[in-house]
Amino acid sequence: MSVKRAIVVGAGFAGATAARLLAEKGYEVAVLERRSAAGGGSNETLRPNGIVAQRYGPHIFHTKNEAVFRFLSRFCVWRPHEHRVLGSVRGALVPIPFNFRSIELLFPPAESEALKSALRRYYPADARAPVLALMTHESAMVKKLGEFVMEYVFLRYTAKQWGIPPNQVDRSVLDRVPVVMGYRDTYFDDPIQMMPWEGFNALFANMLRHPGIRLELALAERDGIRLDAEKGRVLWRGAPFDGPVIYTGNVDALLDCRFGRLPYRAVRFEFEDLPLDSYQPAAVVNYPNDWEFTRITEFKKITGQQAAGATCVLREYPTDSDRHEPCYPVENPANRALYDRYTREMRRYPNIVLCGRLAEYRYYNMDQAVASAMDKVAAID
């Protein structure tokens, strides 16, 4: 019987999931990763002071998708972790998503009571409403609160994060962080919110440990896949490759940016190690104001690591610069049209499947990248 071979480009959540599932279908899978470690955005590093930090920003696993959770649970033991975020607003640290406690901290008592009772009139307890919906609400009180939240929580953060004003940012992006009509203060609303006990690196090591998987790290450019445009086929190490190829990198790069660069917002990450038990009162503090960074993460408070007298914090500076890793697809109709142009061109290579946050140009969370890979591999024999 001939050996079935597959290639997976990229060893983040999408790539590692695809590789594992293909290997379990009997494929011999080469996973080609240009970084020196697997894990994609969730990869961890050990700081000189012994603190585990996430190299590409705070990553907390959360999902509604039980199939994804069951799949990942094969590779780790979980620790329940509800993520909480504070925002530095007018000199106070208030819960984000903005909730009743945030109102109480920022408005005088009488006004705060009036705002909360207006919200209670229109929304069930703990409902979550997009800030843009509040801003166009029929109630003047609700509208006023919406405008306040836009001004003090979204405006400057969004301008820093995306380099454009909020009215040019796709609505779905702002809807990720709604206003909460009660005191619930978890950042995410998903029923499953967890961190892997031994970290994401261990989760990836377990997922990729399979006799059918060969992981190639720190891959040189010349060892990656190539496209033979004339014959519409994939070349790998000088020979045609006609098995399934799951590609999880930037799609424009695969086609030499021939239709122009597809915009991905990047982030410059600045770490600081400190001889402190604790730096800030929450795992993440957002700075929706004039600081150049968007947020500060203190990793111990996400990973649960116990370490006296040592901590590590990360400041995130969004940028367009090519010198930093692409992190966020920039959703808008023009970019979607450009992306579609690239995917039409990719139809010439029928054995390539685009999968994951970069390749599908979707603002996926980790669980959605896993779900996409599960779907895509299910369609491969």
Rounded to whole angstroms, the Cα distance separating 268 from 251 reads 22
Among 174, 276, 307, 380, binds ligand UDP (CB under 6 A): 174
Q: Which residue's CB is nearer to ligand FAD, number 107 or number 328?
A: 328
42 binds ligand UDP (CB under 6 A): no
Residue 94 beta carbon to ligand UDP: minimum distance, rounded to whole angstroms:
10
For residue 105, the 8-state DSSP code is H
Contacts of 337 (CB under 8 A, 6+ apart): none
Count of alpha carbons within 13 angstroms of residue 293, beta-carbon side: 17
Number of residues that bind ligand UDP (CB under 6 A): 14
Q: Which does 97 bind (CB under 5 to 8 A by kind): ligand UDP, ligand FAD, none?
A: none
Interface residue with ligand FAD among 7, 14, 179, 312 (CB under 6 A) is 14
Subset of 256-315 contacting ligand UDP (CB under 6 A): 286, 288
Partner touching 262 among ligand FAD, ligand UDP, none, CB below 5 to 8 Å by kind: none
Of 196 and 318, which has the nearer Cβ to ligand UDP?
A: 318
Tell me how far, at minimum, the Cβ of 288 lies from ligand UDP, in Å.
5
Which of 39, 87, 178, 249 binds ligand UDP (CB under 6 A)? It is 87
The encoded tokens of residue 103 equal 């109102």
Q: What is the CA angle 238-242-247, rounded to 5?
A: 85
Of 30, 142, 246, 369, which lies in the binding site for ligand FAD, with binding defined by CB under 6 A?
369
Alpha-carbon gap, residue 118 to 145, rounded angstroms = 10
* Chain centre distance of CA 228: 32
Of the two residues 97 and 196, which places its CB atom closer to ligand UDP in the complex?
Answer: 97
Nearest distance in Å: CB 74, ligand UDP = 26
Which of ligand UDP, ligand FAD, none interacts with 60 (beta carbon under 5 to 8 A by kind)?
Answer: ligand FAD
Based on the number of CB atoms within 10 Å of its own CB, is 277 exposed (0-12), middle (13-18) or buried (19 or more)? exposed
Q: Who's near 199: CB < 8 A, 6+ residues apart?
A: 44, 52, 303
Determine the residue type at 175.
D
Q: Which is nearer to ligand UDP, 165 or 240 (CB)?
A: 165
**CA dihedral for 59, 365, 336, 331, sign (positive or negative):** negative
Alpha-carbon torsion, ordered 228, 265, 53, 18, to 10 deg? -40
Q: Report 98-157 residues binding ligand UDP (CB under 6 A).
A: 153-154, 157
Could you give phi then psi for residue 338, rounded to 5 degrees?
-65, -45
Spatial distance between the Cα atoms of 277 and 150, rounded to a whole number of angstroms: 34
* Cα(357)–Cα(349) distance, integer angstroms: 20
Q: Rounded to 5 degrees, what angle do the CA atoms 280, 284, 286 make?
A: 100
Contact set for ligand FAD, span 197-256 (CB under 6 A): 219, 224, 248-249
264 near ligand FAD (CB under 6 A): no
Which region holds residue 89: left if phi is over 0, alpha if psi is between -120 and 50, else beta?
beta
Does residue number 195 form part of the binding site for ligand UDP (CB under 6 A)?
no
Residue from 30, 366, 371, 374 touching ligand FAD (CB under 6 A): that is: 366
Q: Minimal distance in Å, beta carbon 162 to ligand UDP?
A: 6
Which residues are near ligand UDP by CB under 6 A?
87, 96, 153-154, 157-158, 161, 169, 173-174, 176-177, 286, 288
Which residues are near ligand FAD by CB under 6 A?
9-15, 32-35, 40-41, 56-61, 219, 224, 248-249, 267, 327-328, 356-358, 364-367, 369
